[in-house]
Homo-oligomer: A and B are copies of this chain.
Amino acid sequence: MPAQLEIIQPSACCAPLTREPLGQSDAEDLARTMKALGDPARLRLLSLVAASEGSEACVCDLQEPLGLAQPTVSHHLRVLTEAGFLTRSKRGTWAYYALVPGALDRIADVLRG
């Protein structure tokens, strides 16, 4: 698969923070992305998916480790999906969430000095 097909545009943007002052529009985009990461349950869900084999996990395996109700887990997974970190696909009974390749690295690149 060509490399460009593996990199899906996440909602973050921007030159590295330390290189040039961030403009208002880029700052708003990046803040939305950071807000999606500003919750312990979402960070744990994202990490559970990311650390799973193939960076993909069944929603059926994401509820028990956090001890949260299913609607709460679904809400957090939706926020992570809308922020461009996860994709959702339905296979049979269950939904599967996969890490969007490059999404976390792009945020890391913006933060790195």
Contact = CB atoms under 8 A, between A and B. Distances in A.
A31 B18 contact: no
Q: Which residue, of A18, A28, A35, A111, has the highest number of chain B Cβ atoms within 10 A?
A: A111
Oligomeric state, in copies? 2
Contact of A34 (B19, B20, B34, B44): B34
Contacts of A42: 31
Interface string A18-52: 11111110011011101101111111101110110
16 contacts: A17-B46, A17-B104, A18-B47, A18-B50, A18-B51, A21-B44, A21-B47, A23-B44, A27-B41, A30-B37, A34-B34, A34-B38, A35-B35, A38-B38, A107-B108, A111-B111
